[in-house]
Structure 1
């Protein structure tokens, strides 16, 4: 297998802005109006960048599901979405294990999850490698609707801390339609 065919892209996305959780279980919190706009903008950005995931692994939380739905309204697309409680409940290790187990032969995987896991996982996987500009942007904080685009050369089953380079970090902000 040539190294080119082993090139992989992992996109880690933090859900868009959610409503305050007053009187509602955390798992059931929905997106705020701004969150819907920002998620749609994230979908537009993914489309414009030509980033089409073969697989989306999404937390089971309502706000992450809605983030991906709105991203699709903005132009994002995938054939397969898997909803994993491990991305909602787990930290960096458990989320990474989910990617190892689920990604199979895919080339591009997008994970829609939560902080602090998305920020920690990005830092642990990249270990400072990649675009200085992207690391500087990430240093400002992995805010809602943030997307980290990581490059990885290898099999998904072998992805580990320090094995990726951060190619891009983008924060999507929508506008009133």
Structure 2
């Protein structure tokens, strides 16, 4: 089976709940306590679902870095993490271009980013295709700690609008200890 015909998985994750700015530059905002719990819950969900990315492409913002770190404390794992400013400053097109360039021969890629980019990219890539239930959940909003699981058959370098199916949409919420 060639890698082009092998089904791939793309997980788009919005960072967890961040603290209000409090005079900090947006890039430096950290996760709120609830955000840390929710990110750990997201990691637990990824682990339980057997979703193990070969590569994580993470925005350089502090809250996205902390989201992935907390997800790992919850059970998520990966071999490689790349921090890309393009996911922070760029919109859907820049994030998609970063995915095309960085994903290589991987099977499963997880992108930790921001809204509105994560919501727009999910909608543009799936274009209504996939699970009706997942699309209905997504239509309620791509909230913090939301995860969109998309299926794609092809080379990452060729991924484009309308080439994926939305398989799942999950919102992770942690509980106070």
Interval of TM-score (by shorter of Structure 1 and Structure 2): over 0.9
Residues 1:84 and 2:81 aligned together: no
Partner of residue 67, structure 1: 67
Tell me the TM-score normalised to structure 1 length: 0.98
Q: Give the count of matched residue pairs.
A: 177
- Alpha-carbon distance, 1:6 to partner: 1.9
Residues 55 and 160 of structure 1: CA distance in aligned 2, closer, same or farther (over 3 Å): same
Identify unmatched segments of 5+ residues in structure 1. none
TM-score, length of structure 2 as denominator length: 0.98
1:131 match: 131
Offset, 1:36: 0.1
| Aligned 1:17-166 pairs, distance under 5 A | 17-166=17-166
**1:167 aligned partner:** 167
Structure 1 stretches of 4+ with a deviation exceeding 4 A read: 2-5
Query: Tell me, what secondary structure is at the counterpart of 2:143?
Result: coil
Q: CA deviation at 1:22?
A: 1.7
The alignment partner of 2:168 has SS state of strand
Counterpart CA distance in 2 for 1:80 and 1:165 is: 25
C-alpha RMSD of the superposition: 1.1
